[in-house]
Amino acid sequence: MMPRITAVFGAFGLLGFGPTVGLSAQSLRVPYETFTLPNGLQVILHEDHSVPVVAVNTWFHVGSSDEQTGRTGFAHLFEHIMFMGSEHVPTGEFDRLLEAAGADNNGSTTEDRTNYYESGPSNALALMLWLDSDRLGFLLPEITADKVDLQRGVVQNERRQSYENRPYGLAEENILARLYPPDHPYHWPVIGSMADLSAATIEDVRGFFRTYYTPNNATIAIAGDITPGEARRLAERYFGDIPRGPAVARRSPPVVRLDADVSATLEDRVQVPRVYDVWHTVKAFGEGDAALDVVANILATGRSSRLYKRLVYELQIATDVVAFQDGSRLDGKFELWATARPGHDLTELQRVIDEELATLARDGPTQREVDRARNTFEAQFLSRMERAGGKADQLNFYNYFVGTPDYFQKDLDRYGKVSPTVVRNSVRTYLTGAHRVVLSVVPQGKPEQAVKQRATP
């Protein structure tokens, strides 16, 4: 999984790099300090005085994978509720105070975590930490039925916009339901279902907060123009008295595999059909994760990629093609989709997709293709290392997924080990040699445009 990070070159002692943007061993470091408060809250500090900016990034180790069947969507719903005011910060004041200080903030939810972040002038650090501590330590009394109902409506409307009323918006939900069994934590989308959101009670929401929004289930990364001693003093002052919560017990997901290909057709309000191919692969940082990123790049990134050249440029039977490896904490999937041009059906597209996969599995890529992919990842990796907020989030990301905040160089090194042979073997193991979900999304009333039969690669 390529990192979502930013940094400043001068802050890391970054060495020069050669024709393939290669970095010498141990050349990329993000120095940090870490400590844990008695209540279990871990704090990560990164000092960088390049610009007078500071970022505070809080990860709660809870995502949609921690939800229960019948109560999905809670993690994302709670992300919204966290912005509805706490005991000492009325609704709307959180944003107003930060904006007055020249800072901004936001949050996001995935299957594996929920994060909240602020970024602004370094003299706003105390304000950021106080605001975050108030909604961690003093939110519960402010969780009212009216607030829950309001945010429930906001999330349901968000689901309508992003899923029900968006072209191809229901595809991912349909794929997850077929890729994972009902008892797997990744069986449902992060946003949850309409029925579960409607069924959520105020006690359900309060119980979710008591279980997961605790100091011992969170990590705060503070990065930028800080003095570690002062940052530690502020963290202790604002978070030290918040009581520890119960230990979080997580279930072990069942082993996931498809014993046969799964094909399905979804009729949607779309003008042209689209085909999705999705395989189980490996989780983030697992063996093969980086190689599959390279596979996706070779297949569908840029106009020189194999599927773009065949489908879009040469045959002109598709308008776009996308591929990516999606490694998460518990499992991973490789997803590929292509949208047909008017007048073409998905059987044509699927045939070309299978041909290109078979060729890549048989012959492997050229060294030039692998170098191009690696150069792209390395350039993106470094270009994202420009802001304190990105570094703070990535420190949290590495800390949660691999157990150490400064994994930057080791992450980048994974891509340096990918060779044409590794790519070929990855395609054989995870794509052509495995079963997949094939979902055809077609215009309503036109099921004949779906994939009728797939040639075996």
Between CA 295 and CA 414 the distance in angstroms is 14
Is 168 in the same domain as 267?
A: no
**How does strand 274-280 pair with strand 332-340?**
antiparallel
Q: Is 325 within a domain? A: yes
Cα gap 313→413, rounded to integer Å: 34
Residues 230 and 94 in one domain: yes
Say how many domains are in the chain.
2
**52 neighbors 60 (Cβ within 8 angstroms):** no
pLDDT digits (tens, 9 = 90+) for 269-289: 999 999 999 999 999 999 999
Mean pLDDT of 110-128: 97
Residue 63 has pLDDT above 60, yes or no: yes
pLDDT at residue 346 in the model: 97
| CA distances to 31, 335, 411 from 28, in Å | 10, 31, 10
Whether residue 151 is predicted with pLDDT greater than 80 in this model: the reply is: yes
Q: What is the DSSP letter of 427?
A: I
Cα-flanking dihedrals φ and ψ of residue 190, to 5°? -60, -40
- Cβ neighbourhood burial of 161 (10 Å; 0-12, 13-18, 19+): exposed
More confident residue, 241 or 183: 241
Range of lowest pLDDT (126-130, 148-152, 254-258, 410-414)? 254-258
Token pair 């073409």 in the structure block, residue: 344
The span from the first CA to the last CA of the chain, in angstroms, equals 26
d(CA 146, CA 318): 48
Reported as a single tens digit per residue, the pLDDT across 249-264 is: 888 887 789 999 999 9
The reply to whether 227 and 178 lie within a common domain is yes
Give domain status of residue 59, yes or no.
yes
Nearest to 55 by CA among 140, 115, 139: 115
Q: Which domain holds residue 445?
A: 262-383+409-449
* 457 located within any domain: no
- How high is the mean pLDDT of the chain? 91
- Measured CA to CA, the distance from residue 40 to residue 399 in angstroms comes to 15
Q: Is residue 375 part of a domain?
A: yes
pLDDT digits (tens, 9 = 90+) for 373-404: 999 998 888 777 788 998 999 999 999 999 99
Q: What is the pLDDT of residue 19?
A: 29
DSSP classification of residue 3: -
> Which domain CATH number covers 337?
3.30.830.10
- Three-state secondary structure of 396-409: HHHHHHHCCCCCHH
Sequence-distant (6+) residues with CB within 8 A of 253 are 65, 184, 185, 186, 330, 331
The HSE-up count of residue 133 (CA atoms within 13 Å, CB side) is 18
User: Which pLDDT does position 21 carry in this prediction?
Assistant: 31
Is pLDDT at 457 greater than 80 in this prediction?
Answer: no
Q: What percent of the chain has pLDDT over 70?
A: 93
Q: Are 233 and 313 in the same domain? A: no
Q: Report whether pLDDT(2) > 50.
A: no
Kindly state the DSSP code that residue 97 receives in the 8-state scheme.
Answer: H
Q: Establish if 15 belongs to a structural domain.
A: no
CA angle 201, 203, 208 (to 5 degrees): 100
Is there a single domain that holds both residue 277 and residue 159?
no
Residue 21, in any domain of the structure: no
Task: Provide φ and ψ at 365, rounded to 5°.
Answer: -85, 170
β-strands 274-280, 104-109: how paired?
unpaired
Q: Is the pLDDT assigned to residue 362 strictly greater than 90? A: yes
| 271, 231: one domain | no
Give the CA distances from residue 337 to residues 85, 163, 319, 325, 435, in Å, rounded to whole numbers and listed in that order: 41, 17, 11, 12, 16
More confident residue, 20 or 405: 405
**Residue-wise burial string across 116-140, b where 16 or more C-beta atoms lie within 10 A, e elsewhere:** bbbbbbbebbebbbbbbbbbbbebe
Q: Answer yes or no: do 316 and 223 share one domain.
A: no
Q: With contact defined as beta carbons under 8 Å apart, do 132 and 107 qualify?
A: no
The pLDDT value given to residue 53: 97
Spatial CB neighbours of 44, under 8 Å, sequence gap ≥ 6 = 32, 33, 34, 219, 220, 221, 222, 392, 395, 396, 399, 405
Residue 7 lies in a domain: no
Question: What distance in Å separates the CA atoms of residue 172 and residue 246, rounded to the nearest whole number?
Answer: 34
Structure tokens belonging to residue 56: 């505070």
Handedness of CA 427, 431, 432, 438 (dihedral sign): negative
For residue 3, which amino acid is it? P
Could you tell me if residue 91 is inside a domain? yes
DSSP class of 241 = T
Q: Averaged over 167-188, what is the pLDDT?
A: 96
Write down the pTM of the prediction. 0.90
Residues 422 and 354 in one domain: yes
Alpha-carbon Rg for the chain in angstroms: 23
453: pLDDT confidence band, cut at 50, 70 and 90? low
pLDDT at 28: 82
In this structure, the answer to whether residues 80 and 157 fall within a common structural domain is: yes
Q: Could you read off the pLDDT of 282-333 as tens digits, one per residue?
A: 999 999 999 999 999 999 999 999 999 999 999 999 999 999 999 999 999 9
If phi > 0 it is left, if psi is from -120 to 50 it is alpha, else beta; for residue 402 that is: alpha
Residues 171 and 280 in one domain: no
Is the pLDDT assigned to residue 13 strictly greater than 50?
no
Same-domain pairing of 187 and 272: no
Domain identity same for 209 and 88? yes
DSSP 255: P
